[in-house]
């Protein structure tokens, strides 16, 4: 269904004249002839036909392609631009008026896009001007590469390549060349340029209904700048594919649109068609340059990206390639005062990429760093991973993508965190977030620099400062509580929000209060933490009924926000959402009793089961290992084994769950029978000890091929009493870590 096009205009019949009035008000170097509405001519304010001693360069055509052509009027480019009505060739009398206004004794060159109406009207005006005694020459530009030859008498359409031809001609004229020489340079430039466009929508003329010719998910290759049908309609493709297709079409040796071959130098122009964001144009430019260089063997000497010749509100872009040499580049680099020619493009590019400056290396850790025990670092790792996973998952479909990027960065960097140092780990989390997150969330979760002396953190940095301020070498529960309180104070100070503003503070403030309250009441730190996390989630949920007074949400209608919790509050409450963190806290008292060596040993055992190294033991992986050890558990038995330790009920066993199981087994006084069964897995012939051959057999079944030296080392470590054999007593001592 077609709808009336939405335009910010007055009378559709006045759009061109009102555009010209606004243009000359904006750029004092321009003026227009007082002949509205029939005569619509923009010209240089410093030029008079009686005194102008250079060749005048005149172009033009139907309006609706702005900034072409009036936006390129200025010293060093066009002397005048003749404007027709929207998509309508200007009348002969209007063109004649422009010629008379700016043409001096050196004559004028008309640069005309290859459309029948433009050729006829500019041609007739040229002949009339010659009859009046003016020196006039004409160059026709047809740079379209979308339609296959033969193209009949109409030839190739004039597109954005015309802008480059205008620049070459304008620079040649400014250099004082004769009309014949200027025309020769312009004609040569027109023969060296090719253009092809891709449109995602059809333009809508002022006062007209929208076109539904291009449906959802469709694009048109070679669509004309007046909305004429192109070469083909296709499904929308990634810009990589689109750019490759367009470049291949322009440079095709079969069609021979332009005389460009491998090893040539070229100029690239990426032109927006009216409704294409600069971001998308720059993406196209960034893809086109390496493709020209690597796939087509061309040296790209200049790149111009922006909107040069549009089609009202058409979405899409065109790509123009011009063969370049020193003469062409000299003309393109020449100075101009045309308001819409890109400033400062001279081809002298510094390296495209330079290294990211890194912060100064931190000094060596002192003996008073805020360390954690080996088992605590394992718990810290799991806690960080669990929270980041929740944020990443929920953000991908509930929150905006900044939180997702931050959580992903944490997961990627986690392996490099100094988990034995709590303060530095918090600091590194802030660094990960700061690297990838923008917006308010990124600032709140990282730092704000005030001066070289004063560094204030908004969340992680404030917590880091609080943790490192203590003289204690091991972080205590009270220190974590103080760090959270300091982080909240920093966020409130620099963000301006407080409780009730519908921000993340509405989750953090009650969490901090409960944590302090329960610790002061003598609660176990794990209990206090769980209650604190529950308070955070309750606080986040309470934001559903709050009016936003800070952040981006404060600009959104209260009706829209009703019954929707604040995303930032939900994000900081995410540790309570994942059951793994509650479980992590409750398990910590047991796991804390393990040494780093024991944890490392259990990790090796865990990896034997976790064949794909994804951090989880599945039912299939558990069954595979047990079968290789000579056991044949049923599906139900495997399910029961996993259910026994699967605290978060996700159907798999993660390392913390496995670690907790091993810890419980070590404390289980009724595990004698289980140890005997485990010993029998190795001691198949029941001779009372485990030999090297038996160790090798079991490990091979588990997928671990060991050398003789490795087997001997395993026996040496397990042979606690030094008799050269691993008997049952040795095995028990090894399994129980005694």
Listed by start position, the domains of the chain span 14-182, 194-333, 497-580, 596-655, 672-736
User: pLDDT (tens digit, 9 = 90+) per residue, 338-380?
Assistant: 999 997 656 556 667 888 887 665 544 444 455 554 445 555 6
User: pLDDT (tens digit, 9 = 90+) per residue, 385-407?
Assistant: 666 665 555 544 344 456 667 77
Place of tokens 């709050």: 546
User: pLDDT (tens digit, 9 = 90+) per residue, 542-599?
Assistant: 888 787 665 555 545 555 555 677 777 777 776 554 444 455 554 555 555 666 677 7
- As its CATH architecture, domain 14-182 has 3-Layer(aba) Sandwich (3.40)
Q: Determine the pLDDT at residue 142.
A: 95
pTM over 0.85: no
**Quick one: pLDDT band at residue 677, thresholds 50, 70, 90?**
low
Place of tokens 């060991």: 706
* Integer Cα distance of 76 and 350 in angstroms: 26
The tokens describing 14, both together, are: 């006045």
Q: Determine the pLDDT at residue 29.
A: 96
Q: What Å distances lie between residue 568 and 192, 280, 329, 506, 558, CA to CA? A: 56, 29, 52, 9, 17
Q: Determine the pLDDT at residue 206.
A: 93
Question: What is the separation, in whole angstroms, between the first and last Cα of the chain?
Answer: 80
- Give a three-class secondary structure readout of 221-248: ECCCCCCCCCCEEEECCCHHHHHHHHHH
Cα 375–chain centre separation: 37
Closest alpha carbon to 577 in 378, 389, 408, 381: 389
Q: What Å distances lie between residue 171 and 59, 337, 340, 497, CA to CA? A: 14, 11, 15, 58
- Give a three-class secondary structure readout of 401-448: HHHHHHHHHHHHHHHHCCCCEHHHHHHHHHHHHHHHCCHHHHHHCCEE
The more confident residue out of 671 and 572 is: 572
Residues for the chain: how many in total? 738
Are the beta carbons of 387 and 425 closer than 8 angstroms?
Answer: no
**How high is the mean pLDDT of the chain?**
80
Point out which residues pair with 274 in neighbouring strands: 314
Closest alpha carbon to 327 in 141, 163, 184: 184
The more confident residue out of 596 and 440 is: 596
Q: Is 524 marked within a binding site?
A: no
Q: Is 63 marked within a binding site?
A: yes
Are the beta carbons of 108 and 125 closer than 8 angstroms?
Answer: no
The more confident residue out of 29 and 445 is: 29
Highest mean pLDDT range out of 76-80, 416-420, 455-459, 555-559? 76-80
User: pLDDT (tens digit, 9 = 90+) per residue, 50-75?
Assistant: 899 999 999 999 999 999 999 999 99
Are the beta carbons of 571 and 399 closer than 8 angstroms?
Answer: yes
**Quick one: pLDDT band at residue 735, thresholds 50, 70, 90?**
low
- As its CATH architecture, domain 672-736 has Orthogonal Bundle (1.10)
Q: What Å distances lie between residue 711 and 605, 687, 696, 704, 705, CA to CA? A: 16, 19, 7, 11, 10
Task: Mark residue 347 as left, alpha or beta (left: phi above 0; alpha: psi -120 to 50; beta: remaining).
Answer: left
Assigned fold of 194-333: Hypothetical Protein Tm841; Chain: A;domain 3 (3.30.1180)
The more confident residue out of 684 and 420 is: 420
Q: Is 65 marked within a binding site?
A: yes
Instruction: Determine the Cα angle at 125 with ends 39 and 33, to 5°.
Output: 25
* Integer Cα distance of 166 and 172 in angstroms: 10
pLDDT higher than threshold 60 for residue 617: yes
When mean pLDDT is compared across 31-45, 95-109, 622-636, 654-668, the lowest value belongs to 654-668
User: pLDDT (tens digit, 9 = 90+) per residue, 703-715?
Assistant: 556 676 766 666 6
The more confident residue out of 394 and 662 is: 662
Q: Is 181 marked within a binding site?
A: no
Place of tokens 């049952």: 728
Q: Determine the pLDDT at residue 675.
A: 55
Instruction: State the DSSP string of 160-208.
Output: THHHHHHHHHHHHHHTT--HHHHHHHHHHHHTTEEEEEEESS----TTS
Q: From the candidates 226, 296, 349, 449, give the one annotated as an active-site residue.
A: 226
Q: Is 69 an annotated catalytic residue? A: no
Assigned fold of 596-655: Recoverin; domain 1 (1.10.238)
Are the beta carbons of 308 and 160 closer than 8 angstroms?
Answer: yes
The more confident residue out of 504 and 20 is: 20
Q: Determine the pLDDT at residue 147.
A: 81
* Integer Cα distance of 645 and 165 in angstroms: 75
Tell me if 596-655 shares its fold with 672-736.
yes
* Integer Cα distance of 496 and 505 in angstroms: 11
Q: Is 62 marked within a binding site?
A: yes
Closest alpha carbon to 145 in 221, 64, 240: 221
Q: Where are the beta strands (DSSP E) in 18-152?
A: 30-32, 41-44, 56-63, 80-86, 108-113, 136-141
Q: 265-272 and 232-235 as β-strands: parallel, antiparallel, unpaired?
A: unpaired
Q: Determine the pLDDT at residue 477.
A: 78
Are the beta carbons of 444 and 489 closer than 8 angstroms?
Answer: no
Q: What Å distances lie between residue 628 and 263, 652, 688, 733, CA to CA? A: 62, 20, 22, 25
User: pLDDT (tens digit, 9 = 90+) per residue, 222-274?
Assistant: 988 888 888 899 999 999 999 999 999 999 998 889 999 999 999 999 999 99
* Integer Cα distance of 80 and 60 in angstroms: 8
């Amino acid at each position: 269904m077609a709808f009336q096009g939405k335009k910010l205009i007055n009378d559709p019949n006045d759009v061109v004249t009102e555009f010209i009035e606004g243009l000359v008000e904006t750029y004092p170097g321009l003026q227009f002839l007082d002949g509205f509405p029939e005569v619509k001519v923009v010209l240089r304010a410093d030029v008079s036909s009686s005194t102008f001693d250079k060749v005048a360069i005149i172009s033009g055509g139907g309006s609706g392609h702005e900034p072409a052509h009036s936006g390129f009027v200025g010293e060093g480019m066009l002397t005048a631009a003749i404007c027709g009505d929207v998509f309508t060739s200007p009348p002969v009398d209007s063109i004649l008026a422009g010629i008379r206004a700016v043409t001096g004794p050196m004559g004028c060159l008309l640069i005309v896009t290859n459309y029948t109406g433009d050729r006829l009207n500019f041609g007739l005006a040229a002949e009339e001007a010659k009859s009046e005694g003016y020196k006039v020459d004409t160059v026709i530009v047809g740079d379209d590469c979308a339609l296959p030859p033969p193209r009949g008498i109409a030839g190739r359409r004039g597109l954005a390549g015309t802008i480059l031809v205008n620049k070459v001609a304008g620079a040649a004229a400014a250099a004082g060349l004769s009309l014949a020489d200027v025309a020769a340079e312009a004609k040569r430039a027109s023969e060296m340029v090719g253009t092809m466009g891709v449109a995602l929508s059809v333009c809508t003329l002022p006062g007209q209904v929208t076109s539904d010719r291009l449906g959802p998910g469709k694009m048109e290759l070679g669509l004309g700048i007046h909305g004429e049908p192109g070469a083909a309609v296709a499904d929308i493709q990634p810009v990589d594919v689109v750019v490759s297709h367009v470049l291949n079409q322009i440079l095709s040796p079969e069609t021979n649109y332009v005389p460009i071959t491998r090893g040539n130098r070229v100029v690239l122009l990426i032109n927006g068609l009216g409704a294409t964001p600069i971001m998308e144009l720059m993406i196209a430019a960034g893809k086109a340059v390496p493709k020209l260089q690597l796939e087509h063997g061309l040296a790209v000497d200049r790149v111009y990206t922006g909107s040069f010749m549009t089609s009202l509100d058409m979405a899409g872009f065109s790509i123009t390639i011009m063969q370049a040499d020193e003469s062409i580049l000299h003309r393109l680099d020449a100075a101009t005062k045309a308001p819409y020619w890109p400033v400062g493009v001279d081809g002298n590019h510094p390296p495209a990429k330079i290294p990211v400056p890194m912060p100064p290396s931190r000094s060596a850790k002192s003996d008073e760093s805020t360390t954690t025990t080996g088992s605590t670092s394992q718990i810290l790792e799991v806690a960080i991973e669990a929270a980041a996973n929740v944020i990443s998952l929920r953000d991908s479909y509930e929150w905006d993508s900044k939180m997702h990027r931050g959580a992903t960065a944490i997961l990627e960097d986690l392996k490099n965190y100094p988990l034995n140092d709590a303060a530095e780990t918090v600091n590194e989390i802030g660094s990960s977030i700061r690297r990838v997150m923008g917006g308010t969330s990124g600032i709140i979760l990282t730092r704000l620099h005030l001066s070289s002396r004063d560094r204030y953190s908004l969340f992680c940095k404030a917590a880091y400062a609080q943790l490192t301020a203590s003289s204690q070498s091991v972080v205590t529960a009270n220190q974590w509580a103080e760090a959270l309180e300091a982080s909240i104070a920093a966020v409130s100070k620099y963000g301006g929000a407080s409780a009730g503003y519908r921000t993340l503070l509405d989750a953090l403030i009650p969490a901090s209060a409960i944590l302090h309250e329960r610790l002061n009441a003598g609660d176990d730190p794990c209990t206090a933490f769980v209650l604190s996390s529950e308070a955070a989630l309750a606080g986040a949920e309470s934001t559903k009924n709050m009016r936003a007074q800070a952040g981006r949400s404060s600009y959104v209608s209260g009706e829209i926000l009703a019954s929707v919790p604040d995303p930032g509050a939900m994000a900081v409450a995410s540790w309570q959402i994942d059951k793994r963190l509650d479980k992590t806290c409750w398990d910590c008292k047991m796991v804390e009793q393990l040494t780093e060596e024991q944890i490392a040993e259990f990790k090796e055992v865990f990896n034997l089961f976790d064949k794909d190294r994804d951090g989880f033991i599945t039912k299939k992986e558990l069954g595979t290992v047990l079968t290789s050890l000579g056991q044949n558990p049923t599906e139900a038995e495997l399910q029961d084994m996993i259910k026994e330790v699967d605290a978060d009920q996700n159907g798999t066993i993660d390392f913390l769950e496995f670690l907790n199981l091993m810890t419980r087994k070590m404390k289980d006084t009724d595990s004698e029978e289980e140890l005997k069964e485990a010993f029998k897995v190795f001691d198949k012939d029941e001779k009372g000890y485990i030999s090297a051959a038996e160790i090798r057999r079991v490990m091979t079944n588990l997928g671990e091929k060991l050398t003789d030296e490795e087997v001997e080392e395993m026996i040496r470590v397990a042979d606690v009493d030094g008799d050269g054999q691993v008997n049952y007593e040795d095995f028990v001592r090894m399994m129980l870590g005694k």
